[in-house]
Structure 1
């Protein structure tokens, strides 16, 4: 099995054994496969991209083609122990409504995203005047699926406004975890575990 992306490794380590999970925007199913194999989780996926759905199916993973913006509404309340949205929040039309839906269908929700307030992004904009292309954001602004440039502080404000509890949070710089101190400036990626 291939190594998981750092944010997915954090999530995989925290999901309780034997739980029911929906991985929204599951990509090729790396997290689902790890959860099923290592944690004996009933993991299912939803993915918009047809080729990624096919890749999941080729791995024998249960996945449906669906859009997080509209299709989460079809799931019943509390259908899962965890709803996971990794590196997808910034691509949704209404991130606030998607987070609400995650917490409706899951007792807990993991949300991970790239932090657009990271110091390298700020420096690139300040000195170069252009949207950055980095290892973690590897494509030009006009090719990216990102439509909302969320920061750690923006996300904290959103969940506070909605009365959502942050059960745990992790911040990553490159592939390494860092302390929450000045995470809005220092973290390239953030992972939040949310509950009501």
Structure 2
């Protein structure tokens, strides 16, 4: 068993066995391999980086090279039980469009992202006026792929505005879960399980 990143382990544990899954921005396929091997899922991936695509294919996974911002339009409605977007939301040019696409393609969507309102980020901005470089946010401001700095509260507000249902949410602090109460301040990472609202 490969040691999955904490947010991925959480997602893997909550995907129903035998589901059809689309992993958007699947990286080297670590999560897809776990879903296939441990949960008997039919996992497909979309990944922009050629090296990652090759690594995932070497694991015998079905991955297409493509960009979440443009290539999700090609997938048919409700073709997957789950669409997963882990740490890719903040790198998308139009995250709100990507979210809509996820919930069009999948019946449910898992979305995980680093919380830019975490206290360390706030402290770094407050004391030094600089974007922090931490274990979870290792790049400097100019070479980071994170072009949208989303916070837990921003995401909650956006989801409510779009009329999407939050089925569950988990908050990580380092590698451990933390409560949702002060998540905007304390969580370094958030994982949301979203579903379409049936009223739309």
Instruction: Give the deviation of 1:58 after TM superposition.
Output: 1.1
Question: Corresponding residue for 2:38?
Answer: 38
Q: What SS does the aligned partner of 2:68 have?
A: coil
1:1-196 superposed matches below 5 A:
1-196=1-196
Q: What SS does the aligned partner of 1:70 have?
A: helix
Structure 1 segments (4+ residues) deviating >2 Å: none
Output one character per residue of 1:109-139: Cα deviation in whole Å (capped at 9) or x when no partner: 0000000000000000110111100000011
Q: TM-score, normalization: structure 2?
A: 0.97
Q: How many aligned positions are there?
A: 196
- Structure 1: distance between partners of 2:52 and 2:31: 13
Q: TM-score, normalization: structure 1?
A: 0.99
Q: What SS does the aligned partner of 1:31 have?
A: helix
Q: What SS does the aligned partner of 1:69 have?
A: helix
Instruction: Give the deviation of 1:2 after TM superposition.
Output: 1.4
**Structure 1, unpaired ranges of 5+:** none
**Structure 2, unpaired ranges of 5+:** none
- Structure 2: distance between partners of 1:59 and 1:108: 26
CA RMSD of aligned residues (A): 0.5
Q: What SS does the aligned partner of 2:185 have?
A: helix
Q: What SS does the aligned partner of 1:137 have?
A: coil
- Structure 2: distance between partners of 1:26 and 1:189: 18
- Structure 1: distance between partners of 2:17 and 2:3: 19
